Amino acid sequence: MARRKIAARGNHERWLVSYADLVTLLFAFFVVMFASTQTDHARAKKISQGVEEALQAGTTPPKIAAILGGSVIDKGRGNAALKGPAFPTPSAGKNEAPPKDLDLEAATTLLRSRLAKEIGAGSVEIRVEARGVIIGLNSAIFFSTGDDTIDPGVYPTLQELASILNRLPNALRLEGHTDSIPINTPRFPSNWELSAARSIAMLRVFNERFAVERERMAVVGYADTVGIDSNETEAGRRRNRRVDIVIVSESGLRAEARPVH
């Protein structure tokens, strides 16, 4: 007797498995999207706070710089790999200004206190004028006769002076002065060259040895045209041979030195 073939019964609910898998994937997708959205809010908040702090402080924190485009020295971080440096970083230390915690009155008091010994010995003289605070350095003490070489023995005095100058934001003028006795050497054919060379020498030692910012300083050579005493006496000529370090006041930016006599 022949066996009757029974057709296999199809499972018509099998589509539910695929549908459940799809729903599960969609659920996971939306969970991930939701989580990403929340993370972006938090990140945006951090960036906003960081930018606000940077604007108030005048600097850009490294983390914010990395997020917003990196810098010259961190190419490849953040968006810098695609866009290049967004925040160029100046040379090291250029934006690291010294603490500015003195005004001119306090600086004058501190200078007279710290340099009391030199003032008493006549090697330093401090005057206050409308154009600022003037620290007169006696050329006979700070330089060799007829030369612009600074005596290394006065470096401690200049270091003390520089430590105070570095705590001020004011512009500085280094003004060379001589007496009225003419000079004529192969290097210095007149007092103009000598006075200018001495102010330049002082600028270099302040900048290179004691880290006073060169952008703050300017040099002037007055020769014997702006004396503070009479050139008729040796004592007067000694006072006139000097380099003045002028801590320029706000009004002093518009004023020029004038002879007293």
What's the confidence (pLDDT) of residue 31?
59
What's the confidence (pLDDT) of residue 28?
66
Alpha carbon distance 251, 44 (integer Å)? 46
pTM over 0.85: no
90, 117, 132 — which closes off a domain? Answer: 90
pLDDT along the chain (261 residues), means of 10: 54 66 72 58 54 47 42 38 34 45 84 94 93 94 93 95 93 96 94 97 97 95 95 94 93 63 60
Q: Which domain holds residue 65?
A: 38-90
**Structural domain includes residue 176:** yes
Check whether residue 118 and residue 245 sit in a common domain.
yes
Q: What is the mean pLDDT of the chain?
A: 76
What's the confidence (pLDDT) of residue 101?
59
47, 67, 90 — which closes off a domain? Answer: 90
* CA–CA–CA angle 45, 48, 52 (5° rounding): 140
What's the confidence (pLDDT) of residue 18?
72
Check whether residue 75 and residue 120 sit in a common domain.
no
Tens digits of residue pLDDT in 149-204:
999 999 999 999 999 999 999 999 999 999 999 999 999 999 999 999 999 999 99
What's the confidence (pLDDT) of residue 260?
65
- CATH number of the domain to which 123 belongs: 3.30.1330.60
Check whether residue 177 and residue 50 sit in a common domain.
no
